[in-house]
């Protein structure tokens, strides 16, 4: 394992905010840490960056124990949500800042910096100040600054959450392309599951300081190992009595299905969403891509429901 984290534990005022978290990342992989606000994502990232003292745990990167190495000596770069650029420094100087300490001559550093700015589509912006750039451009500068030192590990803490929706999508595919091009081992923190699914090779789901599930995105969706995974990822119908669940797309209209009544329908743009009432009085939500026919409230329909037992899944996912 290229990055190996063992029993990472952090307390603040006796309160454990990260509890015995262990995981590994292969070289060149992109791991997403996903979980609700306050679950400990940033704390894990700051521990990897060397910005806090651990109560317990060991971090090994490329065979070297870095647990007690100070941040500036770790081969790790961090990109923050708020960009963290030096406001009085021009774009190029921001990018090559880290090279100063690597003993690279100014002229060579500038050349490297300009090449890096080209990679993040900021050619020609070298002389501007950060404040003269848009949020998306500033985040690209931060990314270039993080990459220019060729770190072994790149840490991104909610890098897109200050950007508007369209830009977020754009920059997210750029980050992924750059990550692939550099083959750089990356940990990307987000609270947005859609974002996590679209960038991650693997996802580490956290809740209340604990690792809940570490898996490929597809397994997280199809084989949730806990009720928390089930609730946090995607939309779901949960049948508490029988401890089983079905995703909205696991319910589909079919003439051989059981009879149900439409309680509500709503147009969602890409698809229709329905709330159905079964004969035993439970409600089930479903979606349909067929927008040519819209079922109305009160209408009788037939639908097939594909249930999955959560217990079985719990075994299957482990
Ligand atoms: N410096 C600190 N002092 C005290 N508590 C902190 C500190 N940093 C984080 N915490 C607490 O630790 C928990 C996890 O925080 P954090 O890692 O920032 O969560 P996330 O990034 O998932 O939103 C939260 O309850 C937060 O209030
Ligand atoms: Mg955070």
Query: Which pLDDT score, from 0 to 100, does residue 81 have?
Result: 82
Query: Which pLDDT score, from 0 to 100, does residue 13 have?
Result: 94
Superfamily of domain 3-227: P-loop containing nucleotide triphosphate hydrolases (3.40.50.300)
Assess whether the region 3-227 and the region 246-316 belong to the same CATH fold: no
Listed as own residue / partner, the contacts of 171-179 with beta carbons closer than 8 Å and 24 or more positions apart are 171/136, 171/139, 171/140, 172/198, 172/199, 174/120, 174/121, 174/140, 175/143, 175/199, 176/30, 178/119, 178/120, 178/143, 178/147, 179/30, 179/154
Q: Which residue positions in the chain have pLDDT lower than 70?
A: 311-318
- What is the DSSP track for 242-277? TTEEEEGGGEEEEEEEEEEEEEEEEE-SSSEEEEEE
Q: Which of 40, 52, 205 to mutate to test the pocket of ligand 1 (most atoms within 8 A of CB)?
A: 40
The ranges assigned to domains in the chain are 3-227, 246-316
Beta bridge partners of 213: 205
Instruction: Tell me how far CA of residue 251 lies from CA of 51, 135, 144, 306, in angstroms.
Output: 48, 42, 46, 6
Average pLDDT, the chain: 93
pLDDT tens across 34-43, in order? 999 999 999 9
Q: Is the CB of 37 inside a 6 Å radius of any atom of ligand 1?
A: yes
246-316: which CATH number, 2.40.50.140, 3.40.50.2000, 3.40.50.620, 3.40.350.10?
A: 2.40.50.140
Query: Which pLDDT score, from 0 to 100, does residue 318 have?
Result: 39
Query: Which pLDDT score, from 0 to 100, does residue 163 have?
Result: 87
Query: Which pLDDT score, from 0 to 100, does residue 311 have?
Result: 67
* Centroid of ligand 2 to alpha carbon of 157 (angstroms): 7
Q: Is the CB of 136 inside a 6 Å radius of any atom of ligand 1?
A: no
Query: Which pLDDT score, from 0 to 100, does residue 315 have?
Result: 42
Task: In whole angstroms, give the CA distance from residue 190 to residue 160.
Answer: 9
Closest C-alpha to ligand 1, atom 12: 17
* Cα dihedral 35, 39, 45, 47 sign: negative
Q: Is the CB of 101 inside a 6 Å radius of any atom of ligand 1?
A: no
Task: Give the ligand 1 atom nearest the CA of 46.
Answer: 17
For β-strands 185-190 and 30-34, DSSP reports them as: parallel
| Residue 111 DSSP label | H
Query: Which pLDDT score, from 0 to 100, does residue 102 have?
Result: 79
Task: In whole angstroms, give the CA distance from residue 14 to residue 311.
Answer: 34
* Centroid of ligand 2 to alpha carbon of 159 (angstroms): 10
* Cα dihedral 165, 166, 172, 173 sign: positive
Q: Which of 37, 43, 159 to mutate to test the pocket of ligand 1 (most atoms within 8 A of CB)?
A: 43
Q: Is the CB of 41 inside a 6 Å radius of any atom of ligand 1?
A: yes
């Amino acid at each position: 394992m290229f990055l190996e984290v063992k029993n990472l534990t952090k307390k603040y005022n006796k309160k454990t905010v990260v509890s015995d978290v262990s995981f590994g990342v292969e070289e060149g992989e992109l791991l997403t840490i996903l979980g609700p606000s306050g679950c400990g994502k940033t704390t894990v990232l700051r521990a990897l960056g060397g910005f806090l003292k651990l109560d317990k745990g060991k971090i090994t990167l490329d065979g070297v124990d870095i647990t007690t190495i100070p941040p500036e000596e770790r081969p790790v770069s961090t990109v923050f949500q708020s960009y963290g650029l030096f406001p009085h420094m021009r774009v190029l100087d921001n990018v090559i800042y880290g090279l100063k300490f690597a003993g690279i001559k100014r002229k060579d550093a500038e050349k490297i910096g300009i090449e890096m700015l080209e990679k993040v589509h900021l050619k020609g912006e070298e002389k501007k100040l950060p404040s003269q750039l848009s949020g998306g451009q500033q985040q690209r500068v931060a990314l270039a600054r993080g990459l220019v030192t060729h770190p072994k590990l790149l840490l991104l803490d909610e890098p897109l959450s200050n950007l508007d929706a369209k830009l977020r999508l754009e920059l997210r595919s750029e980050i992924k392309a750059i990550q692939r091009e550099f083959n750089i081992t990356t940990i990307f923190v987000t609270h947005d599951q859609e974002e996590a699914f679209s960038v991650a090779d693997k996802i580490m789901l956290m809740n209340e300081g604990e690792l809940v599930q570490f898996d490929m995105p597809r397994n997280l969706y199809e084989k949730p190992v806990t009720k928390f995974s089930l609730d946090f990822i995607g939309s779901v119908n949960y049948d508490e009595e029988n401890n089983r669940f079905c995703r909205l797309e696991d319910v589909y209209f079919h003439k051989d299905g059981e009879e149900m009544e439409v309680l509500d329908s709503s147009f969602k743009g890409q698809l229709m969403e329905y709330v159905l009432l079964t004969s035993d009085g439970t409600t089930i939500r479903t979606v349909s891509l067929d927008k040519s026919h819209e079922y109305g409230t009160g209408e009788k329909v037939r639908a097939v429901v594909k249930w999955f037992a959560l217990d079985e899944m719990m075994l299957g996912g482990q």
